[in-house]
């Protein structure tokens, strides 16, 4: 079985701002930690990864890597270029 390959997560918070995963609440998700793009993280990550169904959702590293309409991601990546 092939593992899907996602673009690298840059911690833009995009997925948590658009819609919470099944473990989250609110939009933006109340468990979105951090204070700015590049510093965002899931405050429930450790708890979620202990759940046997977490391999399905959320797709950590999958949502934030979305390039479509994710201006924070584009800005973060552009700032990393030499």
pLDDT of 8: 72
pLDDT tens digits for range 9-60: 788 888 888 888 888 899 999 999 999 999 999 999 899 888 887 776 766 6
* Ranges of each domain in the chain: 14-73
Q: Does the pLDDT at position 67 exceed 80? A: no
pLDDT of 6: 60
pLDDT band at residue 70 using 50, 70 and 90 as cut-offs: confident
The candidate with the shortest Cα–Cα distance to 77, out of 18, 4, 12, 14, is 12
The candidate with the shortest Cα–Cα distance to 6, out of 66, 49, 72, is 66
Helix (H, G, I), strand (E, B) or coil at 48: helix
Helix (H) or strand (E) holding 73: helix 71-80
């Amino acid at each position: 079985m092939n593992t899907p390959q996602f673009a690298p997560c840059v911690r833009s918070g995009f997925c948590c701002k658009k819609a919470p995963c099944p473990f989250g609440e609110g939009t933006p998700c109340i468990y979105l930690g951090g204070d700015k793009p590049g510093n965002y993280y899931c405050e429930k990550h450790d708890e979620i990864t202990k759940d046997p169904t977490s391999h399905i959702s959320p797709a950590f590293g999958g949502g934030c890597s979305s390039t479509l309409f994710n201006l924070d991601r584009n800005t973060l990546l552009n700032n990393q270029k030499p």
